[in-house]
Chains A and B, each alone.
Chain A
Amino acid sequence: MTAHPDTIALAVEDLGKSFTLHMHGGTRLPVVSQVGFEVHAGECVVLGGPSGAGKSSILKMLYGNYLAGSGHIRVRHGGALVDIVEAEPRAILDIRRMTLGYVSQFLRVIPRVPAIEIVAEPALAAGVDRAAALERASGLLHALNLPERLWRLPPATFSGGEQQRVNIARGFAGEHSILILDEPTASLDAANREAVIGLMAARKATGTAFVGIFHDEEVRARVADRIIDVSVFAAREAA
C-alpha cells in the first residue's frame, strides 16, 4: 500500500491473543500472534482463511469485545489515533458511539423494543435528531426489503433473515467512519445480499472504512479491495 498515512482509519500492529481456560486446568488456546494490517478510509479489507484461524477473534478485539493479549489497535477517532488495547472502557464506549460500528452475525434482541427503534438507536446515540434518525432507519429498512408492517414490532418473533436485516440496518444507521462486519450476508437471499453490497458501496464512496468476514465468494470478490489471509498470523506456541 502506498496510500497516504493521513487516510489510515485503523492500524493493527503486532496484535496477539490466546485464551486461558481456567475451568479446564488452565489450558492455553493460542489464537493469533503478530497480526498487522492497516485499513484506509473508503477501503474494504476482508479477513480470509480457514475457519478457526482467528478471523472473528480479530474482529472482536478491534471492537474491544475481546481483550487483546498484546499489540496495538489504533483507531482514528476525533482526529487522533487512539489505541483500543490501552483505552479505558469509557473511551471505548465513546469510540463505539462515534467511530467504530459492528455488525455481528446475530441480532441481540431487546424485549419489547420495535425494530425501527433498534435501527434508529445508533443514530440517536451519535447525536442525530429523532426525526432524522427515524427517517434514516426507514430508508435502511426499505433498502433491505423489510416489510413495513414489521417496523413497529419487536424483532423477537422475526425469522433469522429478517432479524439479520434489522441488525445490518442498525449497523449502517450510525455515523461510524469504520464498520466491522462479521458475516453480515450469511443468512440473506440474493436480493438482500445485493442490497448490502449497495449500502457498502455508498458508504465507501463517502470514506467509511470496512473490515469484515465474508464467506460467500461472490460477495467477497465484489466488496474486497484487499483480502488478508489470517492463517499467516497463526499463533506460534513458545516451546
Chain B
Amino acid sequence: MMSGASRTPLLSARSLAKSYGGRPACQHVSMSIDEGEVLAIVGESGSGKSTLLNLLSGRLAPDTGEVRYRMRDGVERDLARLSEAERRLLARTDWGFVHQDAALGLRMNVSAGGNIGERLMAVGDRHYGQIRDTAANWLTRVEIGVDRIDDKPTAYSGGMRQRLQIARNLVTSPRLVFMDEPTGGLDVSVQARLLDLIRGLVADLGLAVVLVTHDLAVARLLSHRIIVMKQGHVIETGLTDRVLDDPQAPYTQLLVSSVLAA
C-alpha cells in the first residue's frame, strides 16, 4: 500500500501548462501520486480537471512541463520521450482509463467477453479457453452474469457498460487507473453500486487512481487526497476529509457549501 517502500512516486507532474487558442486550460500544475493512492481532482466544468487528466495520462501533450512515470522495471520515464509503441503498451497494460461515456472505452460491436479478451491478447495472451475463463471471472467480479458474456455492450444498461469498462481495464492488472467522472450520468442507485464496486476493487488490488469528478461525495468515498481546480489553477490540495471538512480557500468553501451533503 502506501507504506513508502519506494520513495519515488508512481506518477509525477511538474509545472504542467496547456492552453487552447491562447485560453489557458491548465497552469502551473505540479502533483504526484504513489502506488495504492487514490487522488481526486475536483472542480466545476471548465475548471481544467479533464485537461489535467488528459495531460497526466499522456493523451494530451503539455505546452510546458513534464509528466514522469515509474515503469514496471522501476525506471522513471518522461512520458513525452516514450516512443509511440511504448506509450501504447503502457496504456494497454500498466494503465487503465475509465471514461464517463462507456462507448469511448469499449468496442460497442464486440461481445463483452471480446472486450475483456482484447486487452489480454494485446499483451500476448493467445490461449482462447484461458482468455474466455479470465473474461468470465472478471464479469463475475464486476457483478455481470456470465450468461451475458456473448452479448454486445449495446445490449447492456448504462451501469453494466460502466462495470464492463472497468473489467476491461483491470484485466491486465494495471498499477494506475485514470477515471473521468466514472459515475456521471448514472441513476443514483446504479451509482452507489458502482462506487462500492470501485472502492472494493481499488482496495483489493492496491490500485493507484487519478479520479476526476465534480461530485464531492464521490471524492469523499473513494479518494485519499484531493486537488481542487478552478480556471486551470490548483486552488487547494490536501487530505480529502480535511479539504472537505475544513476548506481554506474561498473557492473550496463555496464548492463545499454548495452541496447538500458530501
Question: What does the 1/0 interface line of A86-97 toward B look like (CB < 8 Å)?
Answer: 000110111000
- Residue in B193, B196, B239, B250 whose Cβ sees the most chain A Cβ within 10 Å: B239
Within 8 A of A (CB), among B238-257: 238-239, 241-242, 245-246, 248-250, 253-254, 257
Minimum Cβ distance to chain B for residue A158 (Å): 17
Q: Are A93 and B196 in contact (CB under 8 A)?
A: no
Q: Are B3 and A112 in contact (CB under 8 A)?
A: no
Minimum Cβ distance to chain A for residue B56 (Å): 18
The CA of A68 and the CA of B248, in the complex, are separated in Å by 11
The CA of A93 and the CA of B224, in the complex, are separated in Å by 8
Minimum Cβ distance to chain B for residue A193 (Å): 28
Within 8 A of B (CB), among A1-60: 19-23, 60
Known pairs A65-B241, A111-B195; A90 contacts B246 (CB<8 A) = no
The CA of A169 and the CA of B238, in the complex, are separated in Å by 28
Q: Using a Cβ–Cβ cut-off of 8 Å, how many residues does chain B contribute to the interface with A?
A: 25
Contacts of A60 in B (CB 8 A): 245-246
Q: Are B225 and A112 in contact (CB under 8 A)?
A: no
Known pairs A64-B239, A65-B246; A110 contacts B221 (CB<8 A) = yes
Contacts of A110 in B (CB 8 A): 196, 199, 221
Minimum Cβ distance to chain B for residue A180 (Å): 14
Q: Does B192 contact A (CB under 8 A)?
A: yes
8 A-B pairs closest in CB distance: A22-B250, A111-B192, A89-B239, A66-B246, A112-B196, A22-B253, A89-B225, A67-B246
Q: Which residues of A contact B (CB under 8 A)?
A: 19-23, 60, 64-67, 89-90, 92-94, 110-113
- Could you write out 25 A-B pairs with CB less than 8 Å apart? A19-B246, A20-B248, A22-B250, A23-B257, A60-B245, A64-B239, A64-B242, A65-B241, A65-B245, A66-B242, A66-B245, A66-B246, A89-B225, A89-B239, A89-B242, A90-B2, A90-B4, A90-B34, A93-B2, A93-B224, A94-B3, A111-B192, A111-B193, A111-B195, A113-B196
